[in-house]
Amino acid sequence: MSLAIVYSRAGSTVRAPLITIETHLSPGLPRFNIVGLAETAVKESKDRVRAALMQSHFVFPVRRITINLAPAELPKEGGRFDLAIALGILAASGQIDKNLLADYEFAGELALSGALRPINKCLPMAIATYRANRSLVVPQDNAPEASICRGLSILPVDSLLSVCAHFRGEKIIPAYVNPCLEPANPARTADLSDVYGQAVARRALEIAAAGQHSLLMSGPPGVGKTMLASRLPGILPPLAEDDALELAAVTSLAGRTVDPATWKVRPFRAPHHCASSVALVGGGRPPKPGEISLAHNGVLFLDELPEFSRQVLESLREPMESGCITISRAAYQSEFPAQFQLIAAMNPCPCGYLGSERCNCGPQQIERYHRKISGPLLDRIDMHITMSPPDLDNKQAGESSDTVRTRVIAAREKQQTRCGTTNAHLNTQAIEAHCALAPSIETYLKKAIEQYQLSARAYHRVLRVARTIADLADSETIEQTHLAEALFYRPTLGRR
Ligand SMILES: [Zn+2]
């Protein structure tokens, strides 16, 4: 029998699909073929594998060698399959016992010397290997990142020789143990108690945190919009292990190293307004996740919202509704999670000082500035507030982040118990079931809808925000005061 099977995984999506590397040796003229939609980098691995095997003093079989990377329709990239291909040849030619390889998955790029180089996008593979109940063999430098997947057995290896010595029982490699996987609580650099005054904005931020609602803050420069936004992660509940793992997998797919010391910290992403739509929502070939996915389960802060290109902003509409983004490029189709909380900020006019003597923006200029953000996008933002400069005489410190966070966590727990999601993500059926109004309050809301010409989407958003306000007040039902406050945060009330 000269057929061997070795497992590895593709690295292009969060799910990291299984790739089976079949190696077949047959008599005939010596040839070395790799089939299965292998790209240039995989074809180049032939040369690396041949040199590495010979440099490590293994026998390179003088036979007809066929390597099949299955399934064929999955795109495959990079040198990550080198190690698996080399082991396939060694197993098919009887230089190592092929029965020992079935419980493992392998990844690593070979140097010509037989040394192993780290791969990128390692974490999605680690998670998938763990779920498949196998152990992972990866280059040493990949081990810390892979170890974020708790419970996974990892063999860190430095060369083809050390892998073979392990499987021949000559020198056993101990499983990797990460010394710093449980970091102390991350130091919180910014606290809400630093923000003086701004009672309305602080209250809005707390509601947004409690229900995961999107928020647009409008106000002159220096009023504290960025200061408030950057304090949002500090009042959010801690990231659950599964959510943190999913975020870490996305970070790894973006080609970034996942730091075991900070991987449980909620992300705060603040891309510049020059960002392209590929940078913001993802793209490229093979597709990489963008800022909205790097902000998954965290905060996406867009400062100076009207300065972003309109096309870039419009690309946010679909993921804001669905919580994920699908990118199709030729053979590649990738879906990345993108359940981000959008916090946006803008000036009231191009110069920023509308209403003061310093402002000399004309009405048309102001209108043009506001028109840069489309109605449908504004409609998708749950809460809108206008901020004015703080009262400089009022130096009373506000509540600390810890105090606010306690209330936010209590409100989130109510939402989880009720429907297993945050209020911002309640679907229509859940809204009907959990945001029912007493008849008198229903009449009040109908009047408001007529008066302010709220769209059906805006109507649902008002109910979701009202549900969060009721949760913060520990009220089972939505009362008129909760609804009135939710309506206060709609932009159609003529405050913009
Ligand atoms: Zn102005």
343 Cα to the center of ligand 1, angstroms: 23
pLDDT in tens, the chain (496 residues): 589 999 999 887 888 999 999 999 999 899 998 887 666 767 788 899 999 999 999 999 999 999 999 888 777 777 899 999 999 999 999 999 999 999 999 999 999 999 999 998 899 999 999 999 999 999 999 998 899 898 899 999 999 999 999 999 999 999 998 776 665 455 556 899 888 888 999 999 999 999 999 999 999 998 999 999 999 999 999 888 889 999 999 999 998 888 877 788 899 999 999 999 999 999 887 789 999 999 999 999 999 999 999 999 999 999 998 899 998 876 677 889 999 999 999 999 999 998 888 898 999 999 999 888 888 898 889 999 999 887 767 677 789 999 999 999 999 999 999 989 999 999 999 999 998 899 999 999 989 888 888 888 888 999 999 999 999 999 999 999 999 999 999 875 343 3
- The Å distance, Cα 213 to ligand 1 centre, comes to 29
Distance in Å, CA 274 to ligand 1 centroid:
22
How remote is the CA of residue 369 from the centroid of ligand 1, in Å? 10
Rounded to the nearest whole angstrom, what is the distance from the C-alpha of residue 388 to the centroid of ligand 1? 14
Task: Look at residue 450 in the predicted model and tell me its pLDDT.
Answer: 87
Question: What integer pLDDT is reported at residue 494 of this predicted model?
Answer: 40
How close is the Cα of 218 to the center of ligand 1, in Å? 13
pLDDT at 181: 62
How many A from CA of 226 to the centre of ligand 1? 20
Residue 219 Cα to ligand 1 midpoint, Å, equals 11
C-alpha 198 – ligand 1 centre gap (Å): 22
- State the SS3 of the chain: CCEEEEEEECCCCCCCCEEEEEEEEECCCCEEEEECCECHHHHHHHHHHHHHHHHCCCCCCCCEEEEEEECCCCCECCCCCHHHHHHHHHHHCCCCCHHHHCCEEECCEECCCCEEECCCCHHHHHHHHHHCCCEEEEEHHHHHHHCCCCCCCEEEECEHHHHHHHHCCCCCCCCCCCCCCCCCCCCCCCCHHHCECCHHHHHHHHHHHHHCCCEEEECCCCCCHHHHHHCCHHHCCCCCHHHHHHHHHHHHHCCCCCCCCCCCCCCEECCCCCCCHHHHHEECCCCEECHHHHCCCCEEEECCHHHCCHHHHHCCHHHHHHCEEEEEECCEEEEEECCCEEEEEECCCCCCCCCCCCCCCCHHHHHHHHHCCCHHHHHHCCEEEECCCCCCCCCCECCCHHHHHHHHHHHHHHHHHHHCCCHHHCCHHHHHHHCCCCHHHHHHHHHHHHHHCCCHHHHHHHHHHHHHHHHHCCCCCCCHHHHHHHHHCCHHHCCC
* CA gap 313, 21 in Å, rounded: 43
Cα(272) to ligand 1 centroid in Å equals 22
Q: How far is the CA of 358 from the centre of ligand 1 (A)?
A: 7
356 CA distance to ligand 1 middle (Å): 8
- Write down the pLDDT at residue 163: 95
